[in-house]
Structure 1
Amino acid sequence: MKRCQTLIILFFTFFFLKSINTAGQSGKDSTVYKINRKIEAPVTIGLFGASFLGFEYLRNKPRLEYSEVIQLSADDIWWFDRPATRQSVSFRHRAHDISDFFLNSSVILPGLLALDQKIRNDWLDLLILYGESHAINTDFYLLTASSVLRTRPFNYNPDVPVEDKLASETRNSFFSGHVSTAATASFFMAKVYSDYHPEIGNKKYLLFAAAVIPPALVGYYRFKAMKHFPTDILTGFVVGASAGILIPELHRIQRKNPKLSLIPFTGNYNGLRLSYVF
């Protein structure tokens, strides 16, 4: 996860350098989102700063004692989560590296939005918004992972070396920060593109369907690495997707015609008509 934070910062720099050449110095507000730059930019930086302290705390969480390790049994785990303890021990390190690759790829994926001229013109607001989405997701993950002592699946596998089970960060299973970060990035991309291009109509749901793929790949290999249970992965997906969608939505400038309207009508009957535009 710390590697992911570094990549996010590098992505911000890349986005800035690529965009400033075409966006100019107009400093205009976004055409789609309303951002208070003077407040939200420093708050986002502050949230990222808090995340580094959070990661340090996670590394110092209480480790498992040997007496606790030898008492762990997969039979005590809910049947839905139990398969996570029975993955290939020889493949788990490779699976871990693959999950990191897909995570890092997901984080830089929204850089493709810069190919769209309309979106590129609002580079600064989107830069802040993307950072804010990740910062909120990351701090929520850290708050949860710091509070919940859930042992990782590999601790239940008898073929995993005991020294691995006694290492640090073996009780950070809930929830998957890798998956939530990947979901934040991919759903942010789908949300922003669909907001800038309302003309695509219901085709936007194809974008959101495609946004499932990056966190699904990350989650699959976190599962194969015996780092997380399925419930950890599903929770991470929901949290990340929510951050990627809701943060932009809360900043979106509403259309002049309200979505919800109450219209009186007369004719054979008199009354009110309630309508909601999706």
Structure 2
Amino acid sequence: MRTAAIALPAFLVALSPAAAAAEPSPELAYRAEIDLPIAVVGGAAWVASELAKKGLAPEPCRWCAANALDTSVRDALVWRGNPNTAHDLSNVTVLAVAPVAALGLTALAAWYDGRSENIAADLVIVTEATVVAMGLNQVTKYIVGRERPYSHFDNPDVHRPGEGLSGPLPNDDHLSFFSGHATATFALAAASGTVASMRGYRAAPWVWANGVALAALSGYLRIAGDRHYFTDVLTGAVLGSATGVLIPVLFHGPRRGISGPDTHGFRISLAPARGGVGAGVAGTF
């Protein structure tokens, strides 16, 4: 009984935010006067490009064909009779659930380890990476001009522009490649997970698991809603994930002299090799 009485308080202390990891959280390279404006201006530029869609969106489509893979996946996953519900759910995911979960869990992970002073920088870095990914997505959409599946297959179950809240936006029929929803959700997942891992937060696996699950759901709903092909979603997932990892690692990774020689970090090295020069990347996160 005495053993249980001692073990219970110890267990509760271990679960408290004051019981931080043994080693301090690594300091990431972060400058508010640079990173915050990038996030704000990048977000504003994306909003402006959405508002200017009428003048920027291609008409007619530049990429109008559908390949066999995309067609077969669409036929298997599209919601027959009411694809607009899947579309609405994907919007809720990307506009509310995914960002609140990614940013909220990242902040919670810092608080749980007693590192609340990291929260502001962490959230700006995650936002910055997501905004960069969305900017690349938006530029590509306007250049490529791929016809959306509902337009290509003339899906009668999809509301036309102006026919209700679930209908496509005007001038949106030829902006299929690549999926902005998949790009945003996978960028949020990768950036928040990468930042949590670089900081060494104990809750980092939960941040990764939550983000990837929501991103995968969002990608599925875009196909189910007949708004994107499989290759649109796959490309968005790859680019969003890559940007979400590389922005924190390349521009915010801990440097020697900031958090010590044995903390998380990376390096890029060049060395002579037979027939040319070899490059390598090494590090721990």
**In angstroms, what is the RMSD of aligned CA positions?**
3.4
Cα distance in 2 for partners of 1:179, 1:159 equals 22
Q: Of 54, 67, 91, which residue of structure 2 is paired with 1:100?
A: 91
Give 3-state SS (helix, strand or coil) of 2:223's partner.
helix
Which of 110, 113, 116 lines up with 2:106 in the alignment?
113
Normalising by structure 2, what TM-score? 0.68
Residue by residue over 1:148-201, the C-alpha shift from the partner in whole angstroms, topping out at 9 and shown as x without a partner, is 110000113244279838952010100101011111111222112212227x7x
Cα shift at 1:277? 5.7
Aligned residues: 227
Equivalent residue for 1:16?
Answer: none
* Residue 196 of structure 1 pairs with residue 199 of structure 2: yes
**What residue is the counterpart of 1:226 in the other structure?**
226
Determine if contact 1:133/1:243 at 8 Å carries over to the other structure: yes
What SS does the aligned partner of 1:121 have? helix
- The structure carrying a bigger helix percent of its residues is 1
How far apart are residue 90 of structure 1 and its match?
Answer: 1.7
Identify the residue that residue 151 of structure 2 maps to in structure 1: 155
Provide the residue aligned with 1:51 in structure 2: 46
Distance in 2 separating the partners of 1:260 and 1:159: 51
Structure 1 pair 183/59, CA: closer, same or farther in 2 (3 Å)?
Answer: farther
1:102 is displaced (CA, Å) by 2.2
CA distance in 2 between partners of 1:261 and 1:175 (Å): 30
- Return the offset for 1:220: 0.5
Closer, same or farther in 2 for the Cα pair 1:161/1:127, shift >3 Å? closer
Letter in 1 for 2:222: R
For 1:42 and 1:89, locate their aligned partners in 2 and report how far apart those are by CA, in whole Å: 44
Change (3 A) 1:261 1:216: closer
Provide the secondary structure at the position in 1 that maps to 2:240. helix
2:106–2:119 Cα contact (<8 Å) kept: no
Unaligned runs of 5+ in 2: 1-24, 162-167, 270-280
Q: Is the 8 A contact 2:106 2:123 kept in 1?
A: no
Choose which of 107, 129, 136 in structure 2 pairs with 1:133.
Answer: 129
Cα distance in structure 1, aligned partners of 2:188 and 2:159: 35
The answer on 1:78 being equivalent to 2:79 is: no
Q: Write out aligned runs for 1:3-14 (5 A).
A: none
- Judge conservation of contact 2:81–2:157 (CA < 8 Å) in 1: no
Q: Which moved more, 1:90-99 or 1:80-89?
A: 80-89
Question: 1:106-159 CA distances to partner (integer Å, 9 max, x unpaired)?
Answer: 111121222232442212212321221122112111111111110000113244
Report the equivalent of 1:4. Answer: none
Report the more deviating stretch, 115-124 or 137-146.
115-124
Amino acid corresponding to residue 35 of structure 1 in structure 2: Y
Aligned to 1:256: 261
The secondary structure found in structure 2 opposite 1:106 is: helix
1:212 Cα deviation after fit: 2.5
Q: Quick one: which amino acid aligns to residue 85 of structure 2?
A: R
Is the 8 Å Cα contact of residues 54 and 171 (structure 2) preserved in structure 1?
A: yes
Q: How much identity, in percent, do the aligned residues show?
A: 23
Residue identity matched to 2:174: R
* 1:60-103: CA deviation from partner (whole Å, max 9, x where unpaired): 324449xx9xxx7xxx5211111355334422101101112222
**Local SS of the residue matching 2:52:** helix
Q: Equivalent residue of 1:81, what SS?
A: helix
Consecutive unaligned residues of structure 1, counting only runs of 5 or more, are 1-29, 263-274
Per the TM alignment, residue 32 of structure 1 is displaced from its structure 2 partner at its CA by 2.6
TM-score scaled by length of structure 1? 0.70
